[in-house]
Structure 1
Amino acid sequence: MNKYRITLIVSLFYTASLAQSSPAAKPEYGFSRTKSPFRWADNTPAGCPFPKSPRFAKLLFSGRYANYTNGDTWYPSWADDDALYSPWTDGYILRTDVFEPFQESHPGLACNSLDFMGRKAATGNAKIVGNDPLNLQIVPLGRTDGPPAPYGGRYPCGSLVHNGVWYYGTYCLTNNPTNDCGGNGWTEMGPFVGFRTSTDYGKTWQETPHTPVKPIFGENPAQAKVKIGSPHFVDFGKNMQHSPDGYAYLTAHGATNPAVCNNWIQGDEIYLIRVKPSLQTLNDPNAYEFYAGKDKAGKPIWSRQFADLKPLLTWDGHLGCVTVTYNPGLKKYLMCISRGIQVEKADKGPTNLRYDTMILEADALTGNWKLLQYLDRFGPMAYFVNIPSKFISPDGRTMWLSYSANWDDKNRYGNPAGSYYSFSLHEIMME
């Protein structure tokens, strides 16, 4: 996440107590191949509307992790050629064989989602090769300009490679002049613009017909809080093989209340939309169906009208960036939600942020969703959390969390160990 505007961003120094019981020995900076398992303390906030999962007790972290590149916004999609393809931005790719400390000079292939250091706003593309999360090759595929005007920045979101076509979504961010939302950087969600597409796995691109001024769903934060601002495709496995009906589903976070914080990492509601994926449909707003609640029998209602859109989940002050992965071994959907939480400032500095992540599970995309694990102060500022389907074990019980962390201090020694401003992978197991 780009946080380089000094007039908008303050550098934070995290001093709050941390919940994780981690090994005493400091492991290797970029990789840990030895297991030092730990569990995260259960600090679920009071009033959580999601019942505890009756099937799974908790997550066990193995202590194994890997970090690749010096950029964030990684949303891998498993393509039919067995590679993962992902957007990325706000950093650089210098070495792909070893993780190195972040350099503010941005050497190598650099990319930022706003005009910065003489570069125009753009988003990056990369191919991820390999089957072992501890031994991957990151292949840079270049950067694509993405003008954000009239907003401040334009960022990657929903990314899907299906039947040889890469659909790459972007959205815009701006600022709320009356609320800094706890110092989370961009304070107001702009619209989801649409999808640029590639039929050669990211070598060349066809730009979306939509623009920030005329986005696909017509949302405008000056008129109402955005609901489908930063959508992400549900990960149905290789080439969407586990989609139950051929639809591509997307989850997004947003808000209805005009007074709340609604931005890249904060929102009060989760939304669900779907579309049959093709070059003709992904940029056609009339091809989408919007989740509109459930009927009296509990069956989901789908509408062609955006105005009928209703929240899938609601928890005021606790929701944010959302991704979903289908786990075929468990026959479960797993939802990851990350939220920037504003807390009181410390006496000696502007420490007023914590990032919480929670993982929910359900038998169906439309619920009922149950709490698997609440991870407070995870990262301690982990965001864009997702579970790449390629790295799920056959029985479904071992997975890898993918996220980036600590944009405020890109070389901070993270919590859990190995949480860095990178494509960061951490092994977890279901108990």
Structure 2
Amino acid sequence: MADAAVPAIPGVDTGGEEPGTLRLAPEESHAFAVASIAEAATVTSDSDGDLWPTAWADDGALYSACGDGVGVDDGSGTASFGDIVVCRIDGDPATGVVIRRLAAERDVSPVWTDPSRYNSKPTGMVAVDGNADGRDELYLAVQDLRAGTGPDTFNEAPAAGIVRSDDYGRTWHLGPSGPAPMFTGRFTTVMFLDFGQSARHVTVLRTLVPHTDEDPSKFVYAYGIDHNWRTSYSAAVPDPVDLYLARVPIGSIQDRTSWQFCSGHGTSGPAWTAALEDAVPVLTDTRRVGTARPLPGAPAPIRGTRIAQGSIVYNPGLRRFLYSSWTEFTFELYESPTPWGPWKHALSHDFGPFPWRGPLWSQPRHGGYATTIPSKFLSEDGRMAWVQSNWFVGASTYGGSAYHFSLRPLRLDPMPDPLVPAVGTSGENLAHRPDAYPVVSSCRDGRLDVLRDGRVDRAEDSWNGLVRESDAWGYTWPITVRCDRVVLTSGPMDHGSGWFASTPVVEVRTARGWERVADAVVSPPYPCSEAATGRRTYEFTFSPRETTGVRIAGPAGGWGGYTAVAELAVLAPDEAPSASTCGSIR
């Protein structure tokens, strides 16, 4: 964790903060050559509700709970709305999912505090055999969330507890605390660490701690955030900026006195304490989005922190732990080699302000909240995951919303072996490779396909409603490529914006992150004004580089505050360079 000022680096998302703002933030991750998420849900379901934390049980099914919905109609037409509904999910993204309602409302959990002010919301679920009877139980973390019509609705979560099902979600039982909460004030958004079916991959922890330690696979692990499930927009409670880690013996999950909290970690692994007040966050990110100046005519920005209710899953194919979080308009992804860190920031995807286009539109684009990654849908190599999220604000009837169990693909490719030779035939446009993934700081419509479709009559721009002090347009690859040119074709004639305020720089990704190519030369000279627009072509040449990512970056010009691109090509050298002339910077 570093205490630093937010840098004004072209193309780097600083969360909308002004340069010089003091904040605590994790380092940027260099674990993935590609981290790319779809612009909208591609798998939908006949369900109703939000949140959907999941657990993969020993019977092969995925179990989940939704908030504020029907869950799914059981066919009788009598299924009623519930603040919390437990469901069984069968199927997968390839064949579609089928959801069945199991239990709801007070048959699942009590409201831990005041039912006149709060109702129940699911935040985490795990499937393990805690009583050693040879079959899994389901443990569901439930929080009290402020309800009603006042300004504090959804802006305060004062208590949480855990309920248990011994029959795969049909009936639910309280623990030793009875109807009293297990957590109050702090650790009230509880998210279980997902180690796969029946937590079978928890044994990986044995390789991460000294062999003299207590067997870590005998515990269930959970993360928690304080006060609220996301930014408290009414400021009723402090906004979450810290993520905490806890563990509890597998047979005592509902016993609050058995819980231990991470109080720090070193080379020998984590330290644990029974006192929540002595817990130390494993991840802190105080950066806020939406604090930059709004553009003329743009919707008012929604300010918020990046730590929120999502999920933490172990990806065995990549040997990485992933925390999926969100803000009102962005998805955030963090990764770590261990549950206790160091956690690093791996992805921020900006969907822009409302209104969004729902999944029924021909060109849908929308973000969502409560981002979860079910372990059941991870590919064997770990490179393909599926993110569940929900959204309804401003959704049209025609375009639909994502207020149901829905999924979109997340692509994660590790950095390539540095000993494998770089690719790139003479003069090849590397942007046309099927494994090239566009990477941008933001875009208005999410139509990044136009950057390499060979047409200049369509373009995309970076408008997201905020003054853009840095923009970036480029590509990443899961392999090492060799290149020496970037060719930019600007968007259509535009008198308000669409150009860079200063000559854009070329950046390539190295082991240290994105770095400027010092010897890049642009021809013709870039005018840094509206004269740069009108589908004009600018070629940036530089000494050959070997890299997994290339982009152009710089501040947006004009009162509209965006840049626009019709085509962006990355070219391999016309002749293969010799070892003495190739500037490898992998």
Q: Which amino acid aligns with 1:228?
A: F
Whole-Å Cα distance in 2 between the matches of residues 80 and 260 of structure 1?
37
Q: Structure 1 residue 66 and structure 2 residue 43: aligned?
A: yes
Q: Structure 1 residue 251 and structure 2 residue 228: aligned?
A: no
Whole-Å Cα distance in 2 between the matches of residues 58 and 264 of structure 1?
37
Equivalence for 2:69: 91
Report % sequence identity: 26
How far the C-alpha of 1:412 sits from its partner, in A, is: 6.7
Question: Which one has more relative contact order, counting CA pairs under 8 Å at least 6 apart?
Answer: 1
Give matches, 1:28-427, under 5 Å: 43-45=13-15, 49-61=25-37, 65-68=42-45, 69-94=47-72, 108-113=78-83, 123-145=84-106, 146-148=109-111, 149-150=113-114, 151-163=117-129, 164-174=136-146, 180=151, 185-192=153-160, 194-210=161-177, 214-217=180-183, 219=184, 226-243=185-202, 244=205, 245-246=216-217, 247-254=219-226, 266-278=239-251, 281-294=252-265, 297=267, 299-316=269-286, 317-339=305-327, 354-377=328-351, 380=366, 382-406=368-392, 408-409=393-394, 411=396, 420-427=402-409
How far the C-alpha of 1:62 sits from its partner, in A, is: 5.5
Whole-Å Cα distance in 1 between the matches of residues 394 and 224 of structure 2?
27
CA contact (8 A) 1:159 1:232 kept: yes
Larger gyration radius, structure 1 or structure 2: 2
TM-score in terms of structure 2 length: 0.52
Unaligned runs of 5+ in 1: 1-40, 98-106, 114-122, 220-225, 340-353
SS state of the match for residue 26, structure 2?
coil
Runs of 4+ in structure 1 off by over 6 angstroms are 259-265
How far the C-alpha of 1:409 sits from its partner, in A, is: 3.8
Q: Which amino acid aligns with 1:392?
A: L
Whole-Å Cα distance in 2 between the matches of residues 338 and 328 of structure 1?
23
Q: Which amino acid aligns with 1:272?
A: L
User: What per-residue deviation string (whole Å, max 9, x for no partner) do you get for residues 128-164 of structure 1?
Assistant: 1124454111111131414434142221122112122
Whole-Å Cα distance in 1 between the matches of residues 65 and 350 of structure 2?
27
Cα RMSD (Å) of the superposition? Answer: 3.3
Q: Which amino acid aligns with 1:328?
A: P
Whole-Å Cα distance in 2 between the matches of residues 188 and 54 of structure 1?
35
SS state of the match for residue 428, structure 1?
strand
Unaligned runs of 5+ in 2: 1-10, 18-22, 130-135, 206-215, 287-304, 353-364, 414-586
Whole-Å Cα distance in 2 between the matches of residues 393 and 359 of structure 1?
18
How far the C-alpha of 1:356 sits from its partner, in A, is: 2.6
- Range with bigger deviation, 263-272 or 364-373: 263-272
How far the C-alpha of 1:276 sits from its partner, in A, is: 1.7
Q: Which amino acid aligns with 1:128?
A: I
User: What per-residue deviation string (whole Å, max 9, x for no partner) do you get for residues 382-414 of structure 1?
Assistant: 1111111111111110111111123x3454788
SS state of the match for residue 57, structure 1?
strand
Whole-Å Cα distance in 2 between the matches of residues 364 and 232 of structure 1?
16
User: What per-residue deviation string (whole Å, max 9, x for no partner) do you get for residues 305-331 of structure 1?
Assistant: 222112222222332224210000000
CA change 1:327–1:419 in 2 (3 A) is farther
Residue correspondences, number? 338
Whole-Å Cα distance in 1 between the matches of residues 343 and 388 of structure 2?
21
SS state of the match for residue 373, structure 1?
strand
CA change 1:108–1:265 in 2 (3 A) is farther
How far the C-alpha of 1:287 sits from its partner, in A, is: 1.0
